[in-house]
Amino acid sequence: MNKTAEFRITLAQLNPTVGDVSGNAAKARAAREKARAEGADLVVLPELFITGYPPEDLVLKPAFQAACREAVEALARETGGGGPAVLIGTPWVEEGKLYNACALLDGGRIAALRFKANLPNYGVFDEKRLFARGPASGPVTVKGVRVGVPICEDIWLEESEEYENVVECLAETGAEILVVPNGSPYARDKNDLRLSIAVARVTESGLPLVYLNQVGGQDELVFDGASFALNADLSVAAQQPAFQEDIVTLVWRRDGSGWRCSGPVTPLLEGDRGDYAACVLGLRDYVRKNGFPGVLLGVSGGIDSALCAAIAVDALGAEQVRGIMLPFKYTAQVSLDDAARLTEALGIRYEVLPIADAVNGFEKILSVPFAGLPRDITEENLQARTRGTLLMAISNKTGAMVVTTGNKSEMSVGYATLYGDMNGGFNPIKDIYKTEVFRLSSLRNSWKPDFALGPSGEVIPPNIITRPPTAELRENQTDQDSLPPYDVLDGILERLVEREMPLAEIVAAGFDREVVARIDRLLNIAEYKRRQAAPGVKVTEKNFGRDRRYPITNRFRDSGKPLPKPDEALVSRAGRVSAEAFDG
């Protein structure tokens, strides 16, 4: 039996950049030096850390695979002079197959490899088309301690035909501690789910568990970190912060019942606070990792652009944010006043560029092809398209990225057009319903995340939050002149989009039948618009883009009638023998 009394594990909750192999290796190297200074035996990095996660089809390129292998080999050689071992996520090619692997680097060598056995293929994950399944393997040995290394999904699935019970295998083959490298993206209330999964694995195995997660934004995904450790008795051994890099060394001590740790426990950001922090981090990393010098956005005096401006300042600092008001004849004076107050409170550069000459110019050019046709929404939409064109022109000239400002409610029903809502580089509130936009705006006036770069206190004028939104979609009418109240709209959309409930069930929940049918129709016909929208932060389990994929050309419509019951009497059920005979 192992007699080691103390085992130090450094958890490197870090923010890699997809494709930056040398930069990610440098982060791993710096983490190892910190771990060495703290007397660690092992430093752990997240899943596929050397590539950044998720690498998607980039990981299929032989040149990229070779670069990752070269970087891991270099890190392995550096362990030859002593110091902590390194457990790092990397792609690995073995006998012509590509694996999602973890490499143990120790003693100047790649001392062990473990391959991910259970490959997720749902939601945002698409690993079955990229990687081969690895076998369930036993633990690796580090400084005399047997460490089990299930990789992310290897602890997430319940027993089934396709599921390889990696944790059971590790427990049966002598693992003493489970160390789980993860690439688990943020979604609201996901911390409870992660904890329940970890508790189930600890209960089944009787082993303490370390859950290390990546942090940072990658395109539409945000990884919140929030890494933790559980003792074998299910007590929380440590909790790292969410939405920021953090390196901590946990001291595990062995007693008669096994290994136990008591480390720092940091409170997590939950609910609306978690969503706001995700929006800030997602925008920050999209801008910085893609090399933009700053951002600009159309400031309308409305709540969507106000919230986006606050998020941008918290993400990047006021000096990197530029607000532009683009008024037309329907723009109310209160909108101009509120936009000015907002930009002053945030401390950002602000300009007012009237668009009447441009809109009138377009209408003059179109007077011949439009001759004899009545005015309609076409002319009204010229306002939005003019604004988008001007914002993109300033972006092209300065290099600053346009922040788009369409919320999930209005994007769902095709109403996101104003002030570049659908034009630009990135949308921090793309997955935020309008009712939450109001909540987040009020929240930001009373609180800001520790890592936010904007000012404290009231940054969004209360008048913007309390007054009815003016949308200019119908020449100075409000959104709700043509849509139901936002609490009703969002209640219907949440059931249609997140839960995909039949219309009959939504009506049975208390919503008006005609309103439900109308919102369902608008949701369906706006699919082509959403396909053209900028990427944006994902905070729900069903965002538009990576999770919810519907055809643009689609004639199916829910009739709203109760669902018919299947007629099982029409179906012949083959017995096992006859089925096998049919299969040959």
416, 317 Cβ separation under 8 angstroms: no
Question: What DSSP letter does each residue of 82-100 carry, written as one string?
Answer: SS-EEEEEEEEEETTEEEE
Place of tokens 């001590």: 253
- The single residue of 47, 127, 164, 436 carrying the catalytic annotation is 47
Residues 136, 23: one domain?
yes
How would you classify the pairing of strands 258-261 and 295-298? Answer: unpaired
Residue 577, pLDDT score:
56
Task: State the pLDDT at residue 221.
Answer: 93
Residue segments in the chain with a per-residue pLDDT below the cut of 70? 1-4, 158-161, 416-423, 469-481, 545-547, 574-584
On whether both 63 and 138 belong to a single domain, the answer is yes
Residues 126 and 244 grouped into a single domain: yes
For residue 547, give the nearest of 559, 560, 530 by alpha carbon. Answer: 530
505: left (phi over 0), alpha (psi -120 to 50) or beta: alpha
Q: Which of 494, 509, 531 is at the close of a domain?
A: 531
Query: Can 430 be counted among the known catalytic residues?
Result: no
Give all strands (DSSP E) within 22-66, no chain letters.
42-44
Question: Which domain CATH number covers 398?
Answer: 3.40.50.620
pLDDT tens, residue by residue, 242-262: 999 999 999 999 987 889 998
Q: What is the pLDDT of residue 127?
A: 86
544 part of a folded domain: no
- Residues found in the chain: 584
- Inter-residue contact 88 to 100 (CB < 8 Å): no
Both 69 and 124 in one domain: the answer is yes
| 246/327 same-domain check | no
In a domain, 371, yes or no: no
Q: Which domain holds residue 88?
A: 6-266
Same domain, 451 and 522: yes
Supply the CATH number for residue 227's domain: 3.60.110.10
91 lies in some domain: yes
Q: Which of 68, 152, 261, 308 is catalytic?
A: 152
Can you read off the two tokens belonging to residue 404? Answer: 């788009």
Is residue 574 in some structural domain?
no
Q: SS3 of 27, please?
A: helix
DSSP code per residue over 319-375? GGEEEEE---TT--HHHHHHHHHHHHHHT-EEEE---HHHHHHHHHHTTTTTTTPPP
Of the residues 68, 102, 116, 153, only one is catalytic, namely 116
* Same domain for 301 and 215: no
CA atoms within 13 A on the CB side of 212: 32
What's the total number of domains in the chain?
A: 2
Q: Is 537 a member of any domain?
A: no
47 is catalytic: yes
pLDDT at position 480, please? 45
Residues 86 and 214 in one domain: yes
> How far apart are the C-alpha atoms of 185 and 165, rounded to whole Å?
23
Q: Are residues 260 and 277 in the same domain?
A: no
Amino acid at 102: C
For residue range 445-479, what is the model confidence (pLDDT) as tens digits?
999 999 999 999 999 999 999 987 543 444 334 44
Q: What pLDDT, on the 0 to 100 scale, is given for residue 3? A: 56
Instruction: State the Cα–Cα distance between residues 24 and 360, nearest whole angstrom.
Output: 52
Domain boundary among 483, 514, 531: 531
Question: pLDDT for 72-106, tens place per residue?
Answer: 999 999 999 889 999 999 999 999 999 999 999 99
Assigned token pair, 68: 């990752």
Residues 165 and 233 in one domain: yes
| Model pLDDT, residue 378 | 83
Q: Are residues 261 and 296 in the same domain?
A: no
Question: Is 556 part of a structural domain of the chain?
Answer: no
152 carries an active-site annotation: yes
Residue where one domain finishes, among candidates 266, 299, 320: 266
Rounded to the nearest 10°, the torsion over CA 404, 407, 412, 418 is -50
Please report whether residue 211 resides in a domain: yes
Same domain, 233 and 321: no
Residue 578 within a domain: no
